[in-house]
Amino acid sequence: MDSIPSDLINEIFSRLPAKSIARFHCLSKLWCAMFYSPYFTELFLTRSSARPRLLFAVEGKDAWRFFSLPQPHNSYKNSPSLEVASKMASSSYRGILRGYASGLICFRKTQGDEDTVVCNPITGQHAILPRVRKVSSSRPLLGFDPIDKQYKVLSIERGGRYRIMTLETGNMSWRKIQYPAKHNILREGICINGVLYYLAYTYDDTSSVKIVCFDVRSEKFKVIDTCVYEWPRRLININYKGKFGWTDLEYDSAKEAYKLYMWVLEDVEKQEISKYVYTFPDDIKVKRCLMVVGATATGEIVLSSTYRTYKPFYVLYFNPKRNTLQTVEIQGIYAPSMKNKPKPQHQEYGAGMNREKKRRERNE
């Protein structure tokens, strides 16, 4: 390989699957240094972004399973059933999923140890973070700074204490940071272009939903009042064309139709928020078992079956501009060791969300 220019070598390897790169970095110290270099990492991410894929995280009785498949180029033609391309992780990951940022997944282990774990589902590598002082009451959120290429975990403790940790080699430790107002998270955050967004309510005003914007690089908070006074019941945060958004999916049993509510933060500085309401077409194959799971780069809202043992498993693409809904059957997704009927995924939002819902019902 000495006769091949290094730029050409990087170009060749950048076109390989991520699983192959994970294996090749073990061949030699030279290859390991090449694959972990900032230049190759940026080149590989650029190449990968041109081949978008869907990542499915399916929770089984013993562990999480990760699957992926190519995103359809044109989901509004008569698409055939798609088969999942690969299973991406081992069976060692357990706990509550807490976030995803630039290839890494953060979750909280719950089997007595209450550890926070950050893992790479492609390579299988993972790191167990040092515990926060009050572990049982903290909520970890994962963010990525695209400028300094740093991952950071924000820990929000019950009672209004905020700490942050930079993921790096060596001795990692939590640092205290300042906050504008004490708040409680309603849902796991989502990181978009170096800013970690999540919905919350402040202790001094629990009547409306707030958007908390946390700049991962500067470690500064910004709180925006949404003027939304009814908390979404099936709240899902999404990246809508590079902007923070959140959705609420409602099923009308009388009309047998779904209604999708979507809010989008159009401008952070001007604090402009747009609200959209869509009614799905009537020809939906899957009834009363859907939830929003994300959005594509082109602005399509992605939905999937709520119950993971349903066969066949469906993914639906909703295009807000065209008001069209395309159903795609996925082969190969399964949840091992799920002997009993699982709970719907929308019930896994966390005990805090359920407590707030019960409190509101009592007040009403």
Q: Is the pTM of this model over 0.85?
A: no
- In this model, does residue 301 exceed pLDDT 80? yes
Q: What angle do CA 179, 181, 185 make, to 5 degrees?
A: 90
As a whole number of angstroms, the distance between CA 257 and CA 280 comes to 7
- Report the percentage of the chain scoring pLDDT > 90: 15
- In this model, does residue 351 exceed pLDDT 50? no
- In this model, does residue 211 exceed pLDDT 50? yes
The residues, ordered by sequence, that sit 6+ positions from 186 with a Cβ below 8 Å of its Cβ are 198, 199, 200, 201, 209, 231, 235, 352, 353, 356
Q: Among all chains, which residue has been given the structure tokens 């500067």? A: 218
- The pLDDT value recorded for residue 243 is 94
As a whole number of angstroms, the distance between CA 101 and CA 197 comes to 12
User: Amino acid identity of 183?
Assistant: H
Which comes out higher in pLDDT, residue 133 or 363?
133
Span 19-64, pLDDT tens digits = 788 788 788 888 888 887 878 888 887 777 666 677 777 777 667 7
- The pLDDT value recorded for residue 307 is 58
Average pLDDT, the chain: 75
Maximal CA-CA distance, the chain = 75
Contact 257, 201 (CB under 8 A): no
Helix (H, G, I), strand (E, B) or coil at 351: helix
Quickly state the pLDDT bin for 265 (edges 50, 70, 90): very high
Mean pLDDT of the region 177-186: 78
Quickly state the pLDDT bin for 220 (edges 50, 70, 90): very high
Which comes out higher in pLDDT, residue 335 or 193?
193
The residues, ordered by sequence, that sit 6+ positions from 264 with a Cβ below 8 Å of its Cβ are 240, 243, 244, 245, 273, 274, 276
Quickly state the pLDDT bin for 84 (edges 50, 70, 90): very low
Quickly state the pLDDT bin for 12 (edges 50, 70, 90): confident
- Of 276, 255, 263, the closest CA to residue 237 belongs to 263
